[in-house]
Amino acid sequence: MSVLSEIGAFVAVATVLTITPGLDTTLVLRAAASQGTRNAYATVFGISVGVLCWGLAAAVGASAILAASPTAYTVLCVAGAAYLIWLGIGMLRRARTRGRGAGVSEADAGSSSAGELPIRSWSRGFFSNLLNPRFGLFYMAMLPQFIPEGAPHFLMGLLLALIHNAIDLIWFSLLILGVHFLGHWLNKPTVQRGLDCVAGVVVIAFGAKLVIPVLLP
């Protein structure tokens, strides 16, 4: 098959993967609602760098180590799960803190939540992808199918990962825009607490889902 036809097929698969609700969607929506547009895009760019790292690793065959070494896979699963659970607990603690500060005005609550440095939002998106070996294995299994025979693996893998990043940017921009229109309602302290609670539980669940099959096969 030609390079263009393979790219077209990859776009279709990557689009379905992107719009399917998951951890990335949870992190972006939570950042957009709690920290504002700047931090939401910082989360998106963190996710994009994580995707790019796995795409390049899959292109050069580095992620094959995860499939060949059960120990390496287990270590990365445990590290990823620990990070996600720690992240989720932090969100639940933030919700509890918001609850104690119920007397704070909506404007103060909004400015406080939006004061987080974008680098922290970026790191959430980045490490949530980089420490997820299942995403790496998925890329390793998927990417080679869209690299035509004779095409340079590294360059083709880089191109496909960048295309995936572009799809992510478009989709998450639409989600962030939707949250922006609901900004007045989302800035209410009670809604902020609810979002932190839901996001925290979801992120912890993803962490448990990542590690339980490894520790309890």
pLDDT in tens, 158-189: 888 899 999 999 999 999 999 888 877 766 77
Digit-coded pLDDT (tens) for 102-145: 443 433 344 444 467 899 999 999 999 888 877 777 777 777 77
Question: How many folded domains does the chain comprise?
Answer: 1
- Quick check: 182 and 176 in contact, CB under 8 A? no
Q: What does the alpha-carbon distance between residue 171 and residue 19 come to, in Å, rounded to a whole number? A: 7
CA 196 to each of CA 22, 113, 156, 160, 165: distance values in angstroms, whole numbers, following the listed order: 16, 11, 39, 34, 26
**pLDDT bucket at 195, cuts 50 / 70 / 90:** confident
46 pLDDT higher than 90: yes
What is the Cα–Cα distance from 62 to 57, expressed in whole angstroms?
A: 5
One DSSP character per residue, 141-167 reads: HHGGGGS-TTS-HHHHHHHHHHHHHHH
Residue 66 clears pLDDT 80, i.e. is over it: no
Is the pLDDT at 23 greater than 90? The verdict is no
Q: What range defines the domain where residue 56 resides? A: 3-215
Tell me: pLDDT of 1 over 60.
no
Contacts (Cβ under 8 Å, ≥6 apart) of 142: 13, 58
Residue 21 pLDDT class (50, 70, 90 cuts): confident
Categorize the per-residue pLDDT at 11 as very low, low, confident or very high, splitting at 50, 70 and 90: very high
Identify the pLDDT of residue 100. Answer: 57
- At residue 217 the predicted structure's pLDDT band, cuts being 50, 70 and 90, is low
Model pLDDT, residue 177: 93
> What is d(CA 46, CA 52) in angstroms, rounded to the nearest whole number?
10
Structure tokens at 115: 């004061």
- pTM confidence score: 0.76
